[in-house]
Each structure stands twice: as structure tokens, then as C-alpha cells.
């Protein structure tokens, strides 16, 4: 499994974990809504976002989500997509990297950014 931006990856195995997808996104992606941030996503600061998102992830079973994502990607490696482009900094950060950290902590699987 990898992560990427809608803007940087258009290959197979794409799975959106965003609240929405722009009209210019090439067809062929899947959607996994359970990993999309809540309605609060653009109304809180980073610290509060991370707190709320951690609460959201805590309600999910990491193994089940991992399996669901692999099933959605079929014969391809899952690539979790949202909007932010690397490089990531204090001001340019992304919830897909929080998901990657969650998988590593919960399952021991490292999920790198696809560059």
C-alpha cells in the first residue's frame, strides 16, 4: 500500500480517502469513505484535526480497513489518495499520512508516499 495525491498519481489501485473528488480526477478510482475526515475537516487547526481524526480512526478496525482497501484495489497495490502534494511540512500536511502512521502503529505495515 502507498499514499499519493490526486495530482501525482493516476495509475491503477487508486482509492480516494477524501470527502470529495474534483471533476478533473481521471476515472478508475474507488472511494473508501470511512477514512475521509469528518465535516470539521476545514474548520479546525492542525492539532484539533489530528485529535478528531485519531478519534475517528480509533472507531475502525485497522486490519479490516487494510483488507477492505486491498479488496477495493483488486489485483493492484492500493494507493490512498487525497489532495495535498508533497513535500510535507508544518504548513503542508495531509490526513493520508495520518492513515499511514495508523497502519504502521496498529499493524506494523509501513505505508510510504508514492513519488
Q: Which domain holds residue 64?
A: 2-113
Give the DSSP letter of residue 44: S
Which carries the bigger pLDDT value, residue 25 or residue 9?
A: 9
Report residue 109's pLDDT band, with 50, 70 and 90 as the boundaries.
very high
d(CA 20, CA 107): 27
Residue 83: the pLDDT is 86
Domains identified in the chain, total number: 1
Q: What is the pLDDT of residues 45-79, one digit of tens each?
A: 999 999 999 999 999 999 999 999 999 999 999 99
**pTM for this model (two decimals):** 0.90
Which carries the bigger pLDDT value, residue 92 or residue 95?
A: 95
Strand partners for 80: 3, 15
Amino acid at each position: 500500500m502507498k499514499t499519493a495525491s490526486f495530482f501525482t498519481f493516476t495509475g491503477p489501485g487508486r482509492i480516494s480517502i477524501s470527502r470529495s473528488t474534483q471533476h478533473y480526477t481521471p476515472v478508475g478510482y474507488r472511494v473508501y469513505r470511512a477514512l475521509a475526515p469528518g465535516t470539521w475537516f476545514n474548520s479546525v487547526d492542525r492539532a484539533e484535526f489530528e485529535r478528531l481524526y485519531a478519534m475517528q480512526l480509533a472507531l475502525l478496525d485497522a486490519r479490516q480497513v487494510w483488507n477492505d482497501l486491498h479488496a477495493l484495489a483488486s489485483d493492484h497495490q492500493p494507493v490512498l489518495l487525497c489532495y495535498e502534494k508533497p513535500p510535507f511540512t508544518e504548513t503542508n500536511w495531509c490526513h493520508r499520512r495520518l492513515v499511514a502512521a495508523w497502519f504502521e502503529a496498529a499493524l506494523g505495515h509501513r505505508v510510504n508516499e508514492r513519488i
